Every structure is written in C-alpha cells, then in structure tokens.
Structure 1
Amino acid sequence: MDTLHDGGNDDRIAAVRRFNRFYTRKIGVLEQHLLESPFTLTEARVLFELAHRGGALAKEIGAELGLDAGYLSRIVQAFTEQGLITRKPVPSDRRQFELALTAKGKQAFSRLERASHDEVSKMIAALPAGGGQRLVAAMTTIERLLDNTATRPEVTLRTHRPGDMGWVVQQHGALYARE
C-alpha cells in the first residue's frame, strides 16, 4: 500500500496546507512589505535576529533562518548601504563578518516590533473569551510537534486516569511484600 498517498494522509496534508494558506494570509506575510514597513518578511527576520542577539556573525544568522548565503549577502549589503547595520570582519577569520544594528537599525526594528505587537494584540482582542489562551496553547502544540530540534522530556506528567491509583497501590503492595 502506498502510505504516502493513503486517504488519511492526504486529508492531513490538505488540512496542513489549508492552515498554512489561511495563516500566511491572516498575518499578512503575502504582502510585498511586512506591516506597512519598507521590509520584506525575510529582512524583518534578519533585523529581529540582530536585535535579539546584539551582534552575530552573518553565517549564524543565515543558519538560523535557513537563508542562502548569496541572498543574505544582498540583504546585508542593502542594510549596510541604508545605514541600518554595521559589519566588521572577524579578526580570526576575515571571511566572516560580525553584524550589529546601528541606532537607525534599532529604530527601524523598534517600529517593526511595535507594529507587530499591535497587530497581534488586535487579533487576540477580536477572539471570544478564553480564545487567546486556546490560540496560544494550540500554537505551542504546533511548535512542539514540528520542532525536530526540541528535546523530549524523559518523563511526561499528566492527570490521573481511571485505574492509575489502583496500579500505584498494587505496585506499592508488591514492593512492600518484597521488603
């Protein structure tokens, strides 16, 4: 049987793709520029990484965002020309550059951060009571399921199910009898 194209898998694939289309449209990433700024989504993510790391190697930013080195190089060049970032060679490896936001870059990022905060705040405010908590819980679940790098906990705590306490008592009795 072709497990890649069985009916259940096709339904799941269609549901994930439908959600992806819905959510990208909902948060506006299909627009040419993000949050009415002059930046694309990728450029905004580069600014975000630099703002939250303080300074970083271009190679690190590229790896974190999964960007092609040539594409990142063009973004870095444009940001340098716009006065948004500084780039200085790393003394131990002159092929590498440390990137940092300038005051102008920090200001541009701050505007993006505020616009993003306001946009998400409006989206959450429009939800019914308890909807914000459910939304965040669902997003956390999605993130955990799809994050292959996340370490799985050794023990997962859950609420008691029928029979659990009986099993605990039985195990305790067996252990007590052996002693």
Structure 2
Amino acid sequence: MTDSTLLKRAEAVRHFNRFYTKHIGALHESLQKSAFSLTEVRVLRELLHGTATTATEVARNLGLDSGYLSRLLTSFERHGLITRRQSDADARQSLLTLTDEGRAAYEPLDAAAIEEVCAVLTRLSDAEQEQLIAAMQAIEALLNR
C-alpha cells in the first residue's frame, strides 16, 4: 500500500468521525437541558449497571483521567448521587454505589437517549436498521483487534 492510499483512507476515517460526532451531538440535545455532561451520564450508567464498582474500574472502562474522575465523583458524592465505602479486599479502593437520588437523576436521561435513538431508527426500514447495526458491530470488531 502506498503512502497516498493510506492517507486517503485516514482522511476517510476522519470524515466518518466528524460525521458521526456531529450526529451523536444531535442525539444528545436532551443532555444540554440537564445538569449533566455526557461523561457524567456515562459514569452514572457504569455505576447503575454494575459494570464498575471502583473508580479504577470506571476510569479504565471509560478511558477517563483518574484526576478528572476523582473530581467528578467528589461532586456526585456531595450531591448525594453516590456513596463510597472502603473495599474489604483492598483498603486503598473505595466501592462506589449509586444512591436512589443517583438512579432518579440518571433514569430520565437514559429514557430520553433511548427515545432519541428510536426516533433515528424509525426513519429506516427494518432491513436498513439491521444493516446499520451490522456495520456498527463490524467497526467495533475491527477496532477491538
């Protein structure tokens, strides 16, 4: 492969990235009306679904800077959205739990996001929806190699 071919492919990926981030920005209009950033919503989701129970796991799962995440978690704790308790297995770690207030704050944002994605999908036929999902799965599989 020549350098010019690689550069053309790189530009095609960058073009898709710009398209997709613009599209995703449109999908998250409801977040602009909330008190939470997209990153904050993603952290709440991690805690709600139990995919992470420590700050280290949240940072790893979401690719977040630990200092930034620490400040975000401190804010969540101050607002009663999460609780922390020392891990029995490792005293250096705190186990994070979403409070009832945290769940109540997250759930309408999740419902709005689902509604927005459904609105996009309903513009497509069933076959187009399946094609879109297959393309997304293919991208994910290729990039996770």
TM-score (norm 2): 0.89
* 1:74-133 Cα deviation digits (max 9, x unpaired): 110011111111111223433211101000111112112101100100011112452111
Distance 1:110 1:12 in 2: 40
Q: Which residue of 2 aligns with 1:84?
A: 81
* 1:127-167 Cα deviation digits (max 9, x unpaired): 2452111110100100101113xxxxxxxxxxxxxxxxxxx
TM superposition shift of 1:29: 7.3
Distance 1:54 1:127 in 2: 31
Show the 5 A alignment for 1:23-42: 23-28=20-25, 34=31, 36-42=33-39
Distance 1:43 1:28 in 2: 15
Count of matched residue positions in the alignment of Structure 1 and Structure 2:
145
Please identify, of 126-135 and 40-49, the stretch whose mean Cα deviation from structure 2 is larger.
126-135
Q: Is this contact kept in 2: 1:33–1:39, CA < 8 A?
A: no
Distance 1:61 1:135 in 2: 28
1:21 aligns with 2:46: no
Distance 1:6 1:30 in 2: 36
Unaligned runs of 5+ in 2: none
Distance 1:29 1:53 in 2: 28
Q: CA RMSD in A?
A: 2.3
Bigger relative contact order (CA 8 A; separation at least 6)? 2
Distance 2:28 2:122 in 1: 23
The percentage of counterpart residues that share the same residue type is: 44
Q: Is this contact kept in 1: 2:30–2:112, CA < 8 A?
A: no
Unaligned runs of 5+ in 1: 149-179
Distance 2:6 2:19 in 1: 20
1:143 aligns with 2:135: no
Distance 1:48 1:28 in 2: 18
Distance 2:25 2:43 in 1: 18
